[in-house]
Structure 1
Amino acid sequence: MTLTMNYTYRIYPDAAQQEAMLSWLETCMRLYNRCLRDLKDWMNSRKCRIDRCSINREYIMSPDISFPGYSSQKRQLTQWKKTEPDLQEVHSQVTQDVVKRLHNSWESFKQRGRGFPRFKKYGRYQSFLFPQFSTNPLRVNQIKLPKIGLVDINLHREIPHGFKIKGVRVVSRCRGTKWFVVITIQADLSVPETSPFGRAIGLDVGLIDLLATSDGLTIPRPKFFGDLQGKLKLLQRRLSRKQKRYKNYSKAQIKVARLHHKIANTRKDFHLKIAHQLCDQADSIFVVGEACPKDIDIDYRVMAKGFLGKHSLDAGFGQFRDLLKWVCWKRGKFFSTVDHKGTSKQCPECGYQWNNNLSIRWHTCDECGYSNNRDVASAEIIRNRGIEKYPRTIGERKLPAECVLSGILNLDKCNAGMPNREVGKPALYRAFQRREDVTK
């Protein structure tokens, strides 16, 4: 089995390299639009019937011309390169990937029935791909990109042992002022799916508390966008007063883009830290969401369309769920989703149904007398449903006596007493250890 992952690194090209990469992006954008134009012209020429034409206008194209598919446009690209020096400056595999990128979008459109490929305007084509490398392009603190040269890179983490670099995508951010590379690595490795085990917790998300766990842990919702909204409003007002196509307008655009980039990075960093904290506390984590059937799935996009849409988008519930799933897989924890219906209207102790509105934030059961925070009670329901879904494998592990007596609830219960270097070993690490043991 082949395992593929992406690692993202910041790069620091010099002025000449940055100018070359921006020129490549514009050339790729024009090539993408040109191929899309040929595809749309062919489709428009086949819209009307054979015996009649449109009243206004009609595209006339010979019926012998076949559909401009990936192979035909790739052959046409070779002819274009003979007469156009801009295409000759770009690496050949990069231009081929542009054609492939368009037809991947076309195939996705045919499968979904929506999302027809659109023309790219200036600045909207933000990445290009080197799909293969014969040798390792990484040096000590540099990466070697074909036709661009050695570029300084912040290699904040090494490529794992046993993985090979298959492709490198160069990404432009903040109006071409920040650059990143997304390195695709592969290895012939089989990582088994994690079975439910150990200590289980349920998670409930909300706008008052971003997160509430079945253990009683509540994390207030940070206002990533709200805290910087005043500064963003000021920068956008200054941008609106600048004259377009002048240098001051471009400088103001960069300031706005950098602030948006900072907000997004702050939100993602916070989500990742919370995900690792949750993996330290439990072995099996249950949430409401995406893997469920459509009739019981919770769609956060619907929340974003209401009067609390700005706050829902600022919290980033969907991104947090995806990042938590990734961190659980990486660290060998079990992650699963359950039905969300009725989680806030049921008592976790006796199952009694109640219909109090959202303004009542404290749950008190009239049947059994159970009393707790409403979000925590909902998280307990989610945990109970997860345990019911996997009844045979989930069980509590016995804690060491010193951990129980200390009263520490935010430690890794399953690995209490172990050295820090042994806690939470990733699944990839264990898989490589097994492979090395078999080889020995």
Structure 2
Amino acid sequence: MFNLRLEFKLKPTATQIAVFEDSLEQYRKVYNSALKECKDWYNLRKCQINSCSKSSEYIISADGPLPTYSSQCKALITYRKTNPALLRVNATLLQQTGLRLEKSFVSMWEQSQGFHQFKKKGALRSFNEPQLGTTFHQGNRFKLPVIGRIKFWQSRPIPQGAIVKQARVVRRSTGWYIMLTLPWDVSILDTIPHGNPVAIDLKLTNFVATSKGLFIKRTRFFADAERKLKLLQQRVTRQIIGLNNWKRAAEKVALLHEYVANCRKDWPRKLLDQICDDAGIVFVEGLNVVGLSRAMLGKHCLDAGFGQFFNILGHTCFKRGVFFQKVDAKKTSQICPNCLNETVKKELSERVNSCHHCAHTTDKDVAAAQVVLKRGLAAVGHRVKMHRTASKFMGIPAKQESPRLFARECH
């Protein structure tokens, strides 16, 4: 059992868009009210018992418990009966807003994050629909509580018999989208190493360098749009905040950001489809993506999207039945792929790997990819050996693939 997430673009009417925007505004007010209650409880206990704060004091009972999700939900039910604006919104969705705040507090304590801030107008862009029922999807329409039936672009089929566990409505600069979470009970078999192995080395100059000598230049998504983005942001700063001209200028900035993000997602998918067509095994080096994003070239590393590339690569290999594995990235550029001896330490400007042990000379990126390939083949050979040992012990026929076959295909 695993969760399958599908995304579709909605085609709401003007009335439905008004309901969406009003719902988000009410969720924001409920979120800020619940957060203020928690902040007041914490601020009351900041100073000592025998002293007072210089700025302000909170008239709250000292024995009052910490506001939790359950207590705030009970208070919300009572307050909702006296507020006509909250009566227009589904009560379950308002409780989901309190649950969202509760989870954020848990993440603050466990991950040492900062204290939460109040949401300004337009900051909340999504809400969850937890209770949908069995008649949620009918043809090319979705049935949402309070909102009713809403059309959508069915870009892919929805699995038959799958029950929608949760729907998340998201507002973006290009329109409204819905993300469905479906629990799918299917058995997923482990991909067995087979076919032609290929290793990929990622760099900033040559984004992809394979062990077969294929070079692909990096597409500078954000750098190419940076000049236009600067111009659009200047237009935003020259307008008065809140007026229609300011909103239109800000909308153009958001559209450009979403266009760059979509290009960064689309280009690796086309590239990886080409690589996985002729490969049965794909190895990549396990880079520290967070560390690279905080280094001197962090802006270019974030523009390249190494972490997103790894996620898309794993998903593409899973769909095509290609074996995918990450290997250790330590000193891949400082080792000779021919004799596996460590060469003389090279600077970033040196693009040729020359070994003083065996006089093997090749491109630095290709050499790193070949080292990744050999490390991956060694790990795969050990895995196949352990699989055969377990199969023999349990009386299961072993697979015909051998790690020696991979080594021959590599050469």
Q: Following the alignment from structure 1 to structure 2, what is the Cα–Cα distance between the partners of residues 78 and 133? A: 21
Q: Secondary structure at the match of 1:345?
A: coil
Residue in structure 1 matching 2:335, options 339, 342, 346: 346
Q: Which residue number corresponds to residue 363 of structure 2?
A: 373
Change beyond 3 A, Cα 1:141–1:60: same
Cα shift at 1:82: 0.9
Q: Which residue number corresponds to residue 418 of structure 1?
A: none
Q: Following the alignment from structure 1 to structure 2, what is the Cα–Cα distance between the partners of residues 225 and 304? A: 15
Q: Following the alignment from structure 2 to structure 1, what is the Cα–Cα distance between the partners of residues 359 and 308? A: 37
Cα shift at 1:68: 0.9
Q: Which residue number corresponds to residue 9 of structure 2?
A: 10
Give runs of aligned pairs for residues 14-413 of structure 1, distance below 5 A.
14-174=13-173, 178-289=175-286, 298-354=287-343, 355-392=345-382, 393=384, 395=403
Q: Following the alignment from structure 1 to structure 2, what is the Cα–Cα distance between the partners of residues 116 and 379? A: 44
Q: Following the alignment from structure 1 to structure 2, what is the Cα–Cα distance between the partners of residues 117 and 319? A: 27
Q: Secondary structure at the match of 1:335?
A: strand
Please report the TM-score for the alignment, with normalisation by the length of structure 1.
Answer: 0.83
Aligned CA RMSD, in angstroms, stands at 2.2
Q: Secondary structure at the match of 1:185?
A: strand
Cα shift at 1:193: 3.6
Please report the TM-score for the alignment, with normalisation by the length of structure 2.
Answer: 0.88
8 A contact 2:167–2:178 mirrored in 1: yes
Q: Which residue number corresponds to residue 429 of structure 1?
A: none
Query: Which AA in structure 2 matches 1:270?
Result: W
8 A contact 1:128–1:169 mirrored in 2: yes
Unaligned runs of 5+ in 2: 385-401
Query: Which AA in structure 2 matches 1:163?
Result: A
Cα shift at 1:58: 3.4
Query: Which AA in structure 2 matches 1:288?
Result: E
Q: Following the alignment from structure 2 to structure 1, what is the Cα–Cα distance between the partners of residues 163 and 278? A: 33
Cα shift at 1:8: 0.9
8 A contact 1:198–1:397 mirrored in 2: no
CA displacement, residues 386-438 of structure 1 (integer Å, 9 cap, x when unaligned): 2222323264769xxxxx9xxxx9xxxxxxxxxxxxxxxxxxxxxxxxxxxxx
Cα shift at 1:75: 1.0
**Equivalenced residues, count:** 389
8 A contact 1:197–1:395 mirrored in 2: no
CA displacement, residues 47-103 of structure 1 (integer Å, 9 cap, x when unaligned): 334344334433342133211111111111101211112211111221111111111
8 A contact 2:380–2:403 mirrored in 1: no
Query: Which AA in structure 2 matches 1:107?
Result: V
Change beyond 3 A, Cα 1:396–1:184: farther
Q: Secondary structure at the match of 2:106?
A: helix
Cα shift at 1:220: 0.9
Q: Secondary structure at the match of 1:134?
A: coil
Query: Which AA in structure 2 matches 1:320?
Result: F
Q: Following the alignment from structure 2 to structure 1, what is the Cα–Cα distance between the partners of residues 317 and 114? A: 32
Query: Identical aligned pairs, as a percentage?
Result: 39
Structure 1 consecutive aligned stretches of length 4 or more whose deviation exceeds 6 Å: none
Change beyond 3 A, Cα 1:269–1:396: farther
Q: Which residue number corresponds to residue 426 of structure 1?
A: none
Q: Following the alignment from structure 1 to structure 2, what is the Cα–Cα distance between the partners of residues 191 and 244? A: 52
Cα shift at 1:299: 2.7
Change beyond 3 A, Cα 1:256–1:56: closer
Q: Following the alignment from structure 1 to structure 2, what is the Cα–Cα distance between the partners of residues 159 and 397? A: 40
